[in-house]
Structure 1
Amino acid sequence: MADEEEEVEQVWSWGAGTDGQLGTAKLEDEHLPQLLSLTSLASISTLACGGAHVIALTSGGKVLSWGRGSSGQLGHGDILNTLLPKPVSFFDDYVITQAAAGWSHSGFVSDSGCLFTCGNGSFGQLGHGDNMSQTSPAKVSYFVNKSVKMVACGMRHSLVLFAENQVCAFGSGKRGQLGFSSDRTKSVNLPCLVSGLEDVEVVRISANGDHSAAISADGHLFSWGRGFCGGPDIQTPQCLPSSLTFREVALGWNHALLLTADGEVFKLGNTLNDQSEKQQRQADSCEALLEKVSGFDGVKVLQIAAGAEHSAAVTESGDVNTWGWGEHGQLGLGNTNDETNPQLVSQGSKDLHTEEIKVYCGSGFTYTVKRKQGLSSSPTSS
């Protein structure tokens, strides 16, 4: 017998679970991380977490989904909740490379650059030219020959990054989250170009709540939509005036997390939605609202994630930290308390063979995926 190394994933979930979004086969909240013993998740490469549903992509480009399905957002052709990961059979003949989960809709990007959407379409957030919902993924015809790179789904709107680094938006625009013009647009059901990014090399987009954001190749943050901490809504993308270089943005309903190229975490707004006197004074100044997250001094952060009103980060040493709203146990600390500063989440003993940890946040729940090197035995010829 010879030993061969293979990658092994561990998937953990905690927080709000009453729609089956934790994948535990139970309809209840979990205040501590739960290790999922699901063979269907053995080869996942990434997750997308929405209002109460989860999308998983396998390393081979297949799709599984579970949780709330009342609007068809799971893509299974029905409006049923699913307690355990279930393959999306529509994609059996496709390779899906990226996915996004909104409050009640979903988006999928194929290796050929096509975009598919499903779920609630009542605000036009599916981009099909109508306000109909879809229980199975449907190809968005606007992008058929446009080579889509990435999709992001907010509460009731969607963003798409496609060929030549252009950004389109569709869905609800009540708070400026579509980024079209200074005129308030209630909603659109066909993709339209976002204004002001034509000369920007966008490499990453993000959406959540009524917020939209983009990161440029040179590390600038552009944001638009609902104002943070009571500030005015922003109708078109505005570049954050900062000398910092950002490589990742994660949006919540009232806050944004920003990760710099040096592994430092900053925030705009706050995760607990309370208006302190200081925040009221600063509401009109986006630059003044940019604040370094305490608790990571001397520690490099590799990845960030944001739920509705909670936040998470993974450090270089493999620690997962959470903070913010904790009502459903989404901080994974064994209680329902809110936390203003990052707290260490315990997920069993540390494994020296762990290669990578990723954290993902839904509106009131959290997932981590740990990928590590395992040993498998294979027979040798005698």
Structure 2
Amino acid sequence: MEDDGEQEIWSWGAGTDGQLGTGRLEDETRPQLLRIPSLSSGAVVSSVSCGGAHVIALTAGGGVLTWGRGNSGQLGLGDMVSSLEPKPVVGLEGCFITHVSAGWSHSGFVSDEGKVYSCGDGSFGQLGHGDFQSRCFPDELLFFSDKYVDQIACGMRHSLALVKGCCGAQVYGFGAGKRGQLGISNKIQSVNLPVLSSALEAAEIVGIAAAGDHSAALSTDGRLFTWGRGFGTNSDAFSPQYLPSPLSFRKVALGWNHALLLTDEGELYMLGGKHHGTLSDSERLNATNSLPGATEEDNFRAVCGIKILDIAAGAEHSVVVTEDGAVKTWGWGEHGQLGLGDTCDHTNPQTVTLRHKLESAAAFDVKVYSGSGFTVAITRPHAAAKLTN
């Protein structure tokens, strides 16, 4: 990949379970360029999902690669062994996978036929198979056999599924529900079969997200709904709550204690309390284009004066891509997940240096993804850009 001027995949941060895909069991404080033999034939990674300590990569041809921690079978490779390098999930061969999601120790996959598969830790029912068993191969969720699943989102110990049909979109939750993350209106320890969240039936949901004990959904008109563990001083919500705002959001990224929100106009907003510098003191959205965490006026202008193109949230760190192609990070940095060459926390957004062959970062399209303590970036020259969320 490094020689053909095409797509490049970079990773940095916690690596002691092989989640960086470098072939080494060690943390990396600066971006490392991955070399993936499985992609040598010209296949392109269209998106990535990062979990607690594993990664799922989806190729443009509908194939799936996984690497990292595999102790619960979350890699879908038929065993419960970690992998230091990306490997194809052969159990999904014959399926054209269109969407993937990595949770703390489980994984979900959706095919172009609307079928959904899961594997990994099932001890809280988060695999949705009607039991509490773990699985090392992706198994189809038979509950959805007569439905069309569009997306799956995997959190710490719960999962969400977005189902589309003639009556619109519906969101189902399964797994742990103690903090309200299933969105089923009542407090429940766990469920091992999908349960419908009726509060969203009229909202025309087009996207879902799950991380930690949080859940979120976006509607076609850019409205944001959240449920589960409360952000900052907010109490837990057991049914989806609409976040009143005049803004229209196009993407939400959830961490353990915070959320990043990206508007249609490329403005960045945040929810949550202060944890390792990930967020500001403000607990609510406002009409100002603020970037919480940027306490120095110069740094504030440098970030907020530029349109944001992409966002990602780790456990307690944040990543954004600016309009000029720069990757900026801040928050918890103990494992090098900020990519700045140190293991310090940073309260102000800092620019990560990706060693591109081309002179200007602006010549690249960049997508970013975060796991609990690590970060992945995919870069591709503008002229050949084919990446999707």
Tell me if TM exceeds 0.5.
Answer: yes
Q: Partner of 1:227 in structure 2?
A: 230
Q: Partner of 2:50 in structure 1?
A: 49
Answer whether contact 1:267 1:290 (CA < 8 A) is retained. no
Q: Tell me the amino acid that sits aligned with residue 335 of structure 1.
A: D
Could you list the runs of 4 or more consecutive aligned residues of structure 1 that deviate by over 6 angstroms after TM superposition? 274-277, 288-291
Answer whether contact 2:120 2:135 (CA < 8 A) is retained. yes
Deviations 1:320-367 (A, max 9, x none): 111110000000000011111211000124635944211000000000
* Paired residue secondary structure (2:47): strand
- What is the TM-score of this pair, normalised by structure 2? 0.89
Of residues 314, 334, 353, the one that matches 1:346 is 353
Q: Tell me the amino acid that sits aligned with residue 340 of structure 1.
A: T
Shift of 1:230: 3.3
Q: Tell me the amino acid that sits aligned with residue 18 of structure 1.
A: T
Going from structure 1 to structure 2, the CA distance change for 1:330 and 1:275 (only over 3 Å counts) comes to closer
Going from structure 1 to structure 2, the CA distance change for 1:311 and 1:55 (only over 3 Å counts) comes to same
Answer whether contact 2:61 2:96 (CA < 8 A) is retained. yes
Instruction: Confirm whether residue 40 of structure 1 aligns to residue 38 of structure 2.
Output: yes
Instruction: Confirm whether residue 299 of structure 1 aligns to residue 338 of structure 2.
Output: no
Q: Which moved more, 1:32-41 or 1:252-261?
A: 32-41
Q: Partner of 2:9 in structure 1?
A: 11
Deviations 1:271-307 (A, max 9, x none): 626899956xx5xxx5579983143222011110001
Deviations 1:253-287 (A, max 9, x none): 000000001001000014626899956xx5xxx55
Q: Tell me how far apart the structure 1 counterparts of residues 140 and 236 of structure 2 sit (CA, whole Å).
A: 32
Q: Tell me how far apart the structure 2 counterparts of residues 39 and 327 of structure 1 sit (CA, whole Å).
A: 30
Of residues 378, 384, 387, the one that matches 1:369 is 378
* Paired residue secondary structure (1:224): strand
Matches within 5 A, 1:239-318: 239-270=242-273, 272=275, 286-287=284-285, 292-293=290-291, 294=294, 295=300, 296-318=303-325
Deviations 1:219-241 (A, max 9, x none): 11100000111321011111111
* Paired residue secondary structure (1:229): coil
Answer whether contact 1:229 1:273 (CA < 8 A) is retained. no
Q: Which moved more, 1:213-222 or 1:293-302?
A: 293-302
Instruction: Confirm whether residue 177 of structure 1 aligns to residue 194 of structure 2.
Output: no
Q: Partner of 1:31 in structure 2?
A: 29
Q: Tell me the amino acid that sits aligned with residue 311 of structure 2.
A: I
Q: Partner of 1:379 in structure 2?
A: none
Q: Tell me the amino acid that sits aligned with residue 170 of structure 1.
A: F
Going from structure 1 to structure 2, the CA distance change for 1:310 and 1:143 (only over 3 Å counts) comes to same
Q: Tell me the amino acid that sits aligned with residue 223 of structure 2.
A: H
* Paired residue secondary structure (1:196): helix
Shift of 1:145: 2.0
* Paired residue secondary structure (1:90): helix
Instruction: Confirm whether residue 71 of structure 1 aligns to residue 72 of structure 2.
Output: yes
Q: Which moved more, 1:290-299 or 1:131-140?
A: 290-299
Q: Tell me how far apart the structure 2 counterparts of residues 48 and 276 of structure 1 sit (CA, whole Å).
A: 23
Shift of 1:24: 0.7
- What is the TM-score of this pair, normalised by structure 1? 0.91
Task: Work out which of the two has the higher radius of gyration on C-alpha atoms and give 1 or 2.
Answer: 1
* Paired residue secondary structure (2:148): coil
**Unpaired segments ≥5 residues, structure 1:** 1-5, 376-382
Matches within 5 A, 1:154-233: 154-163=155-164, 164-181=168-185, 183-233=186-236
Q: Tell me the amino acid that sits aligned with residue 171 of structure 1.
A: G
Q: Partner of 2:92 in structure 1?
A: 91
* CA-atom RMSD in angstroms: 2.2
**Unpaired segments ≥5 residues, structure 2:** 295-299, 385-389
Count how many residue pairs are aligned between Structure 1 and Structure 2. Answer: 364
